[in-house]
Amino acid sequence: MGGEGVHPPADACDFARFCSQLDFYALTDHAEALNPRTWEMTRESVRQCNAVASGAEQPDVIAFTGFEWTQVGLTPDEHFGHKNVLFKYDADDELPARPIAAPGITTRAFSKLSALWPLLTIPARAFPNQQGYLDFARHIRENGRYPVCPDDQHTKALPPTCRERAGSPDVLFRKLHEWGLDTLVIPHGTTWGFYTPLGYTWDKQLRADLDDDELQRLVEVFSGHGNSEEYRDFRSAEVTEDGLRCPEPVGGYEACCWRAGEVIRQRCEDPKSELCEQRVEKARADYLRVGLAGHATLPGEDVPDWQDCGQCTDCYLPAYQYRPGGAVQYILAKGDFEDPANPRHSSMGFIASSDNHSARPGTGYKEFARLRMTEARGAPSESWRASMFGDRGRPEPESISYTIDGLMERPPFELMWMERQASFFITGGLVAVHANERTREAIWDAMHSRNVYGTSGDRILLWFDLKNGPEGPLPMGSELWLGETPKFEVRAAGSFEQKPGCPPDVIQTLGEERVEHICAGECYNPGDRRRRITRIEVIRIQRQQSEDEPVADLIQDPWKSIPCPEGRELCVVEFEDPSYVELGRDLLYYVRAIQESTPTVNGGGLRCNGEACEPCYGNFRTSTEDDCLVDAEERAWSSPIFLKAGSEP
């Protein structure tokens, strides 16, 4: 797939310290791919990273240990999505003995050779470079040898060598509480369509039994897989009592099930005939039947045929196949009314992350090396493409009616629509904390108190404060009762323009060969000029008070847009909301600091102009030297300030 092979966890430490020059990062591999041996390797790698600066009062880099609970459900009711689990300390007695995986598709893929058999036939073709593939097969076999932990025991009483699982968030939360450790659980990828079922919404995770206010303090708004912030009214499919229904195009959005019908219509001899209409409806039904792999039902299809279907065309760098029912704005506006007298809402702060699988935390410091600094991958030739993605055949006038079992016989990378996803992988974001010092305790306390913000990768500085809190100013992430007009202040400064190459001390320390291997020859290397913050956007969200309140009406984005004066490095703006008291309801406010446009890797998505699209492939069809740069406005998202109407009871 054009990748570089394995980057061990130790590379993440060097990348954070020397390439991206981060203050802190977290190593969170998929729990489903870990076993007792590799979990110990993970813990030890983080300890070694921290030991490098162990004598310093404020270490240059602080590494956190964690894992990702990678749950995927085949239907909206069964789906909960991915959550990163972080732990404060790195000693063995302050970490769980086992990561906690999610049963299902991901666990099967990393535990049974049969699930990935088509990939494991590659070594014969990859000679003489087959060792990495054979090692991967050995890892899968090793995972399968460890037994699954019993479900009916306290987590601390389980054998050390079993593989622990939690099928739903409530079980995950219970197990984490049984350990009694300092822990954070951070949902991420909540709008990603490549694994999220059609028609999914976050609703059920607002229930008290499927949420945990103490653990789930933060949510990811942006990563190397795109933006998950913005809510839109469209749906990839409508959930009805009779199953899924394909929605008609609305407001610039076209569902891919609908697009499947239009592709078939274009293949009809007479597009207006009754036979053609029957084939169009069949194509839409065939697509919905297999959901995420619906593209495979059209023989002879290619990426441009689908145009911009499934995408949020007016969102900022949106996640692929956008699922707005999982958007962060939706999560914060929606209420749970299991107890109608006491509606329940989520209150999470915002982070962003790099989220890649090449041990490269903080890749957004420069927009370069698309195939190394993002997750974009692809077959290096047409023959490899046929091997990895299957022979798509010739365009036929009728779609294929797959069963799920029949579909599973297709190559795995074809079913994930990897060729189309490649246009949506970007260099990733960062989380920033407001802490008094660079120590593990101060960073952790800032994350737990939600005094954090996310950026799209650039090191934008951002402060967002409520000026008239009951006892004085309060920072982003605060939650409080307020009975008067809220008054806010925002301060923001743009990121430093970057100089080419790496600082001399980095090259001297690592050596040119290692700098090229892990940093791709470029490091965080700031110049003296800061980019300009052009405006501050204020988003106001009213909390849903009854089930029948339309969520779209509660999200005002932007509620205000305030220009920043030219010629100043620091943009300072103030605003207030005179209507707050009159509304008499719970609200939240957060801000975006928008930076001047700069070239961005994959900044144009599928690069569609009308019906013509020019995808940015991860494979040989796009030059490896082409970073697919399109101008975009880098930004930072503050955590919200949550206000409860009136005086505290």
Structure tokens at 636: 């930072």
- Specify which residues 482 forms β-bridges with: 645
Give me the residue spans of the domains in the chain. Answer: 7-164, 238-309+379-423, 496-530
What is the distance, to the nearest Å, from the Cα of residue 601 to the centroid of all Cα atoms in its chain?
17
- Specify which residues 628 forms β-bridges with: none
What is the distance, to the nearest Å, from the Cα of residue 345 to the centroid of all Cα atoms in its chain?
22
Q: Report the distance separating Cα 586 and Cα 483, nearest Å.
A: 11
Whether the per-residue pLDDT at 125 is higher than 70: the answer is no
Torsion from C-alpha of 238, 239, 242, 247, nearest 10 degrees: 0
Please give the pLDDT value at position 303.
95
The DSSP-derived string for 16-45 is IIIIS--SEEEEEEEGGG--HHHHHHHHHH
Structure tokens at 499: 């100089």
- Could you tell me where the beta strands, DSSP code E, fall in 277-420? 349-352
Average pLDDT over residues 300-325: 96
**Digit-coded pLDDT (tens) for 505-554:** 999 999 999 999 999 999 999 999 999 999 999 999 999 999 999 999 99
Q: Report the distance separating Cα 260 and Cα 140, nearest Å.
A: 36
Residue 647 pLDDT class (50, 70, 90 cuts):
confident
Residue 494 pLDDT class (50, 70, 90 cuts):
very high
At 5 the three-state DSSP class reads coil
At 38 the three-state DSSP class reads helix
Average pLDDT over residues 378-400: 87
- Specify which residues 572 forms β-bridges with: 491
At 274 the three-state DSSP class reads helix
Average pLDDT over residues 452-472: 97
At 257 the three-state DSSP class reads helix
Q: Report the distance separating Cα 492 and Cα 570, nearest Å.
A: 6
| Residue 180, CA distances (Å) to 25, 44, 95, 96, 440 in order | 23, 21, 10, 9, 18
Residue 113 pLDDT class (50, 70, 90 cuts):
low
Average pLDDT over residues 403-412: 78
**H or E element: which one contains 134?**
helix 131-145
At 465 the three-state DSSP class reads strand
Whether the per-residue pLDDT at 162 is higher than 70: the answer is yes
| Residue 536, CA distances (Å) to 27, 561, 634 in order | 32, 6, 12
- Name 40's Cβ contacts closer than 8 Å, sequence gap at least 6: none
At 212 the three-state DSSP class reads coil
**Digit-coded pLDDT (tens) for 429-459:** 999 999 999 999 999 999 999 999 999 999 9
**H or E element: which one contains 101?**
strand 100-101
Q: Above pLDDT 90, what percent of the chain? A: 83
Query: Side chain identity at 307, as an amino acid letter?
Result: Q
Please state whether beta strands 570-576 and 587-601 pair in parallel, antiparallel, or not at all (unpaired): unpaired
Q: Report the distance separating Cα 446 and Cα 641, nearest Å.
A: 14
Average pLDDT over residues 311-326: 97
Whether the per-residue pLDDT at 116 is higher than 70: the answer is no
- Mean pLDDT of all residues belonging to the chain: 94
**8 Å CB contact between 372 and 279:** no
